[in-house]
Amino acid sequence: MSKVVVITGAARGIGLATARALKAKGATIVIGDIDEAAVKEAAESLGVTGLAVDVTSRESFTAFLDRAEEAAGPPDVVINNAGIMPIGPVTDESDADAHRCVDINLHGVMLGTKLALGRMLPRGSGHIINVASLAGVMFTPGLALYNASKAAVIAFTEATRLEVRDRGVHVSAVLPTFTNTDLVAGTSSPKGQRNCEPEDIAAAVVELIGRPRPQVVVPKKLGRQARLGALLPDRVRRAVARRYGLDKIFLEYDPEVRKAYDARIRTGS
Ligand SMILES: NC(=O)c1ccc[n+]([C@@H]2O[C@H](COP(=O)([O-])OP(=O)(O)OC[C@H]3O[C@@H](n4cnc5c(N)ncnc54)[C@H](O)[C@@H]3O)[C@@H](O)[C@H]2O)c1
């Protein structure tokens, strides 16, 4: 694959696994993250370019794309992957956490999409991939803020796709389920289900770049379940959620195990 791919939030987790998988396919990769020390270390170990970026800042994001282009050439693919997941009762959520979550998960994706389009539309080619979540279509107690931010990413991505579809630029959303990264620290998996690994999401992104589609759920079977689930009456949906423990997962988590993640998403490193 002879493409230049830029990935945000790729110092670790899904972004880093995606960088690794795409590099193995021959792509030229630039990774960015707010955690500068971690992104430099990850880039060095992977043999790719690693740069600091704060996706909430137009100035920082523009400088990041400029420097990425200097290092690797015009991006064929921009993956807006940076995201955070505050959890707990909505009544306990501070306004600061709410602003930060919307700023990174939604505004960061909107900004990244606009800045990428500014470079891709004049060329008449490119692919923007926004990492949303299955949490953008399946809603869960203790996850209201994250659910809302990811639902908005899905809506924004689809509307943007429809707007630019005839101008040579693909726009896609990726909706992963629970994936074993720091983001789910201290939470348990739904009963009887195994979390995805970051490599599973990376493989889906590699496939998506090869065959652009509007939306990809990982794993695929959960996309069908989510669509069917949305048709069920509320009473049945709640019973299913109880059956899998989804009514409690984000309310009864282990705050000690989650402490380091919570601190990182508030400070950036
Ligand atoms: N892990 C899951 O279960 C899961 C499921 C569905 C979707 N997702 C989404 O996948 C994406 C990656 O998450 P992950 O699980 O790899 O989490 P992660 O915490 O391992 O990685 C996220 C990265 O984003 C970076 N980041 C945070 N704020 C930033 C900012 N302002 N600017 C630049 N970078 C910033 C962090 O430093 C971190 O390195 C997120 O959008 C997340 O919402 C994750």
What is the per-residue pLDDT for 269?
A: 74
Out of 20, 115, 181, 182, mutate this one to test ligand 1's pocket (max ligand atoms within 8 Å of CB): namely 181
What is the per-residue pLDDT for 245?
A: 93
Residue 227 Cα to ligand 1 midpoint, Å, equals 25
Class of the CATH domain delimited by 4-267: alpha beta
Spatial separation of the C-alpha atoms in residues 125 and 112, rounded to whole Å: 16
131 Cα nearest atom in ligand 1: 41
Looking from the CA of 266 toward its CB, the CA atoms found within 13 Å total 13
Spatial separation of the C-alpha atoms in residues 61 and 197, rounded to whole Å: 28
What is the per-residue pLDDT for 267?
A: 86
Helix (H) or strand (E) run with residue 113 in it: helix 108-120
94 touches 22 (CB < 8 A): no
| Domain boundaries along the sequence of the chain | 4-267
Q: Token match 């690794």: residue?
A: 20
Pocket of ligand 1 (CB under 6 A): 8-9, 11-15, 33-35, 53-56, 81-85, 104, 108, 131, 133, 176, 178-179, 181-184
- Across the chain, which has 269 residues, the per-10-residue mean pLDDT values are 96 98 98 98 98 98 98 98 97 95 98 98 98 96 98 98 98 98 96 95 98 97 90 93 94 96 90
146 Cα nearest atom in ligand 1: 43
What is the per-residue pLDDT for 1?
A: 84
Out of 8, 20, 33, mutate this one to test ligand 1's pocket (max ligand atoms within 8 Å of CB): namely 33
Q: Please name the residue whose Cα sits nearest to atom 25 of ligand 1.
A: 9
Residue 166 Cα to ligand 1 midpoint, Å, equals 31
Is 146 noted as a catalytic residue in this protein? yes
